[in-house]
Structure 1
Amino acid sequence: MNRLDIKQIQEIIPHRHPFLLVDYIEDYEPGQYAVGYKCVTYREDFFKGHFPQEPVMPGVLTVEALAQVGAVAILSQEDNKGKVAYFGGIQKCKFRGKIVPGDKVRLETKIIKQKGPVGIGEATASVDGKVVVSAELTFMVGK
């Protein structure tokens, strides 16, 4: 298994606090897949307004976390080191559950297609084995 801590993740993708939404990578294969985790705490900045009476992690941030995990898989390829992966599109996105403080979110993105700088990742976020978000993410690698 190829594990990455937060400092190693920051060497691959450009995101930083408060927008780095992955705490560690449990395993990855460059150009193939990555599995990471986000340990959600009540201290997350977004909980101040989403929603104060019932804190829920915004779905769009979960999709972003999945994209960041996919970016680790793509940008860890030798040809892509030092580049940036941009969103190209989101398809087949489904929200099936809430993410709340105390959840440990498993983020998995498998690269299912890549041609030149454009590719597609199949992404799922789960909590305690239950899928809470799934989507097909299109990315573009650039400088």
Structure 2
Amino acid sequence: MSHDNASSPPSPEFCCWIDQERLKQLLPHQGNALLIDKALVYPQKYRGDGFLTTALAMHVFDGHFPGRPIMPGHWLIEFASLTCATIFTVSSGIPITGTAGVRIVSIDGIRFKAEVRPGDKLICEATLIQRKKILALFSATIRTRAERKEVCRIKELVGILV
């Protein structure tokens, strides 16, 4: 697999902030399923960061360790997946319409390193490692923004654009 962009890219400093309204247009997720607040994408570097501020009122904490709620691991994986899908969509330049979007087909090497509690502010740092047409291989690390404490690492996340 290799990156498809053969033309000379703009300056490496080029990046784009994507707010939640734009994320609703790029991703086939709405409401509680849109588990990402905003993203910063560097299309020419094939990487980006997703941002999420957690709160006790979020559905992900409902009933999960009452009295001392922690965010379930599968929601951390979803946050990473949405970050990767945003990078893939923006860097591919392929318009997404209707129910089209990036689907996860494989995840390997997941490690949970720390608990996420209500009020934690998270950053997901994701890199597109390889791409071939509609397939993309990513790595991702989720950290707390304040302490930069690693909470989750995904060695390989493969998505397909459908």
Structure 2 residue 95 is the aligned partner of structure 1 residue 81: yes
4+ residue runs over 6 A deviation: none
Which of 128, 139, 142 is the aligned partner of 1:122?
A: 139
Alpha-carbon distance in structure 1 between the residues aligned to 2:91 and 2:142: 23
Residue type at the aligned position of 2:68: E
Q: CA deviation at 1:30?
A: 3.0
Structure 1: which 5+ runs fail to align? Answer: none
Which of 10, 15, 35 is the aligned partner of 2:49?
A: 35
Tell me if structure 1 keeps the 8 A contact 2:137–2:159.
Answer: yes
Residues 95-131 of structure 1 show CA distances to partners (whole Å, capped at 9, x for unaligned) of: 0001001100011111001112111101010012011
Residues 27-74 of structure 1 show CA distances to partners (whole Å, capped at 9, x for unaligned) of: 202371120111000101121211212111111110110110111111
Alignment of 1:15-26 (within 5 A): 15-25=29-39
Higher strand proportion (structure 1 or 2) = 1
Q: CA deviation at 1:79?
A: 4.1
Q: Larger Cα Rg: Structure 1 or Structure 2?
A: 2
- State the match for 2:9 in structure 1: none
Tell me if structure 1 keeps the 8 A contact 2:41–2:90.
Answer: no
Alignment TM-score, normalising by the size of structure 1: 0.92
RMSD: 1.4
Identity %: 24
